[in-house]
Amino acid sequence: MSSLDQGLLSADLNGMTAIITGGASGIGLATVERFASLGARVALNHLPDDPTAVEEIERLRTEGLDVIGAPGDVSKAGLAEEMVCTAIAELGRLDILVNNAGTPATQRPIPFHDLDSLDEDRWEKILQTNLMGTFRCAHAAANALRTSNGAIVNVASIAGIGGSASSIAYAASKAGIVNMTRNLAKGLAPMVRVNAVAPGFVLSPWSADWSDEQRRNTIAATWLGRGAAPSEIAEAILFLSAGPKFVNAHTLVIDGGR
């Protein structure tokens, strides 16, 4: 691994804390590892019935990282807020919230002409998780973040800014996150900065069930000719959390060129 692959940012996060939603896999897990390895105490949020989360938390703790579990379903009103409040109480303070939990609510992409497949249940799952979940966690964390002059980073997608998407509903949920990022930044200013990342194709469990053709086509559309490693998105999340403090209300596209 070259020094470039390991990431260039060397922020000191000792004494700082973070909550990362959907932290048991992919981009979320890479972000937990990156933050904790820089000294932060990190609450790893995961779905309560996700068995891999317990294993990952144990592994990270064995590696000497200060990671605690924060089980909770962000798509459920009340439970998301409870998860955030419990995590803040355990962490003692909150400096960074990363709203990363998300779902496409489908194994296969739903073509935009297939309106019949976008039933109420699918819309509900996508909006409740991706959009409402992000708001709920930001709302519950707002006071603690105001106190610490903290930061929020939301995980959007190029799907939210006109890029390809697994469904109209998914694209709308991510467009909502881009919009909400600006408005939360305005609403929580000047104490809390709010930014977002908009990844393109990332090599995570997200695309594990994709067909070879879907994978090939997506990579062919990416000028760098590959998918991003989750750690590359984590690096950008770190930049927006702990980097230049005048960056605010911004959505950073990380798609390798499309």
Q: Which residues are near ligand NAD by CB under 6 A?
A: 21-22, 24-28, 45-47, 50, 73-75, 100-103, 129, 133, 155, 157, 199, 201-202, 204-207, 230
Q: Render the burial of 50-76: b for 16+ CB within 10 Å, e for the rest.
A: eeebeebbeebeeeebebbbbbbbbbb
Output the smallest distance, CB 190 to ligand NAD, in A: 27
DSSP states of 194-253: EEEEEE--B-SGGGTT--HHHHHHHHHTSTTSSPBPHHHHHHHHHHHHHS-TT--S-EEE
Between 28 and 150, whose beta carbon lies closer to ligand NAD? 28
The catalytic residue among 88, 144, 167, 170 is 170
Amino acid at 130: N
Non-local CB neighbours of 198 within 8 Å, separated by 6+ positions: 156, 157, 158, 160, 161, 163, 174, 178, 251, 252, 253, 254, 255
How far apart are CB 14 and ligand NAD at their closest, in Å? 26
Minimum CB–partner distance for residue 204 and ligand NAD (Å): 3
Helix (H) / strand (E) element for 41: namely: strand 41-46
Which is nearer to ligand NAD, 146 or 215 (by Cβ)? 215
54 is catalytic: no
Q: How far is the CB of 2 from ligand NAD (least distance, A)?
A: 23
Nearer to ligand NAD, 39 or 219 (CB): 219
Residue number with CB closer to ligand NAD (50 or 124): 50
Choose between 189 and 216: whose C-beta lies nearer to ligand NAD: 216
CB count within 10 Å of CB 189 equals: 12
Give the active site residues. Answer: 170
